[in-house]
Amino acid sequence: QPFSHLVTGMVLRALAASPTWRKSKEAQKAGELLLIRFFKEDKYDDRWLSSYWEEITYPFWATDILSSLDSLSTIGFSVENEKVQEALNWLLCKQAKQGYWEAGNVKSALEDHLWVTFAVLRVLKKFGLFEI
């Protein structure tokens, strides 16, 4: 039976949050599974469209590119990984003219965009692409 990248991303966030589990074989395997699904449709009905990967939000409540990169950086994936590079390049191209990243929800306010921008900058820092 195929796996759901929506659920895999949620489980990976939990594994990444745990000092005990973040460097485990299970976390690495979940990360590898998630990477092969980037920008692809899910196999199940909930948030199945490939466009859901691009609806970045914060706080993280679903699996999108931003939440996935955040988890992957925490469990030890690096920019050397081709799929990570592709996702980071996509994310960098999504920066708005005003300098921030826009939240994926149509009803998002400026504060939502600023929280998403905070999360993007944190991910870039964790991958060594941004310094304060």
Which amino acid is it at 126?
K
The number of distinct structural domains making up the chain is 1
pLDDT at residue 2, rounded to an integer: 79
Show the domain range for 35.
Answer: 5-126
105, part of any domain:
yes
Q: Specify the pLDDT at position 53.
A: 94
Which residues are bridge partners to 101 per DSSP? Answer: 95
Asked if residue 30 belongs to a domain, the reply is: yes
Q: What is the mean pLDDT of residues 108-132?
A: 95
| Domain assignment of residue 38, yes or no | yes
Which pTM value belongs to this model?
0.94
How far, in Å, CA of 128 to CA of 64, rounded? Answer: 21
Q: Is the pLDDT at 99 greater than 90, yes or no?
A: yes
